[in-house]
Structure 1
Amino acid sequence: MANHFTHIGLLQHGAVEAGDVFCGELETPLSKAGWKQLKQAFGKAGADWDAVITSPRMQCAAFAEWFAQKHDLPLVRDERLREIHFGEWEGHTPQAVMSTDTEKLAEWWVNPAQVTPAGGESFGDFRARVLDAWTELARAYRGERVLVVTHAGVIRVIMAHVLQMSDERLLALNVEYGALTRLRVLRDRGGEWASLIAHGC
């Protein structure tokens, strides 16, 4: 009997050298702590996966490349899995942004879908490209188990889509460094059905 399920693991990259800053387009390597987080959790888990998909950003791609090579898994880089571009907030801590762009940051915390930092990417464009990648994953890897190394914003958008959450609740989804979210997608004649298996494990 054919396996119509696709198992997808969404892995948030580890801690980065830039620290706790807005980090969308910013290229920053994983810190020593970030590498340790990921290797301890996933270093021996190669048998759990059939393929690795990664955001091209350094903080994701470096571990994805290491993991794929270690376990002889195919690796694909997907530009659609980049974090949202934070514009003028890039590279700054929330505390620093609060001192220069207080009102807009406060509005962003309430509903990030309604606020675009100056020079940044709109939430609508971000969500469209992420969900385009998500839809393709379920179709291209039917019957397989795929590890996706990506960013907190990407994971939140996919989870909110699967759980049918409203945009203003997006930041209620906590995504820790090195945390894994597991989802399962069934495709049959009736359509596509996604469910959340585990979050934050």
Structure 2
Amino acid sequence: MRWIWVRHGRTAANVMKRYIGHLDEPLDEVGVDQVDRLAEAFRDFPITRIYSSDLRRAQATASAIAQVHQQNPILTPALRELNFGDWEGKSYEEIAQGDALLLSRWLANPCEIAPPNGERLEELGARFEQWLRSELGQMQEEGTYLFVTHGGPIRWFLSQYAIPKRSFWDVTVPTHGDSLVLDVICSEEGFRYRVDFMIFCSGILSE
């Protein structure tokens, strides 16, 4: 089974390096160009089904790819970014000024520490994996499934099922508008994957 993880195109808040987990930011001009390039890069892929976070930046990315394949993306909040709570819309510097100690604790242990009124990484992983497993029964072993999501869910999956398991922050994820193509084996115990190649917003393939 082939899974394609696509990180949504760029937003203005991304440029300003603000935490925008559940904030519903649109793509900026560069982001629109990125997803158009991605859609073209995926034109000849036999994509079985397209899933997407229900936030606008992901929806716009998924819709561009889906249009090429004459599909409608399946939207779900399970693919949303981490909820940053009171940190939403703030930069690292602004958060550090307000509560440097909590920020330090969160960076050291995001699985168990949450932003104020936000979500622990463990909670993101639980809702993400619960949804993923609910969809497995509808997936074909020879199918290709494309997921448009955010940096957090991609990083969580790659760290959780790396062999050996890796720290969340030690995993490199695609930048905005890029994607990662994986060959995946699913079992009751979890998922195993092999990185196949990456597709960048320029449409260049990297083995």
1:32 is aligned, of 29, 32, 57, to 29
Q: TM-score, normalized by length of structure 2? A: 0.84
Q: Which amino acid aligns with 1:163?
A: A
Q: Give identity over the alignment, percent.
A: 23
Q: Which amino acid aligns with 2:102?
A: K
Unaligned runs of 5+ in 2: 200-207
Deviations 1:132-191 (A, max 9, x none): 22323443222211110000000011112221525xx20122322122122222358x97
Aligned to 1:157: 156
Note if 1:8 corresponds to 2:6. Answer: no
Aligned to 2:205: none
CA offset at residue 92 of structure 1? 0.5
Contact 1:52 1:148 in 2 (8 A): yes
Aligned to 1:3: none
Q: d(CA) in 1 for partners of 2:154 and 2:191?
A: 18
SS in 1 for 2:3: strand
Question: Runs of at least 4 residues of structure 1 off by over 3 A?
Answer: 136-139, 190-193, 198-201
SS in 2 for 1:114: coil
Matches within 5 A, 1:35-50: 35-48=32-45, 49-50=47-48
Aligned to 1:133: 131
Contact 2:38 2:65 in 1 (8 A): no
User: How many pairs align?
Assistant: 193
Counterparts in 2 of 1:62 and 1:110: CA distance versus 1, 3 Å = same
Q: d(CA) in 2 for partners of 1:187 and 1:159?
A: 14
Note if 1:120 corresponds to 2:115. Answer: no
Unaligned runs of 5+ in 1: 1-5
CA offset at residue 193 of structure 1? 4.9
Aligned to 1:194: 192
1:21 is aligned, of 18, 25, 29, to 18
Contact 1:130 1:157 in 2 (8 A): no
Aligned to 2:70: 72
CA offset at residue 53 of structure 1? 0.4
Contact 1:29 1:58 in 2 (8 A): yes
Contact 2:11 2:28 in 1 (8 A): yes
* RMSD of aligned alpha carbons: 2.1
CA offset at residue 105 of structure 1? 1.0
SS in 1 for 2:137: helix
Which moves more between the two structures, 99-108 or 65-74? 65-74
Q: Which amino acid aligns with 2:7?
A: Q
Matches within 5 A, 1:174-185: 174-175=172-173, 176-185=175-184
SS in 2 for 1:140: coil
Aligned to 1:99: 97
Q: Which amino acid aligns with 1:15?
A: R
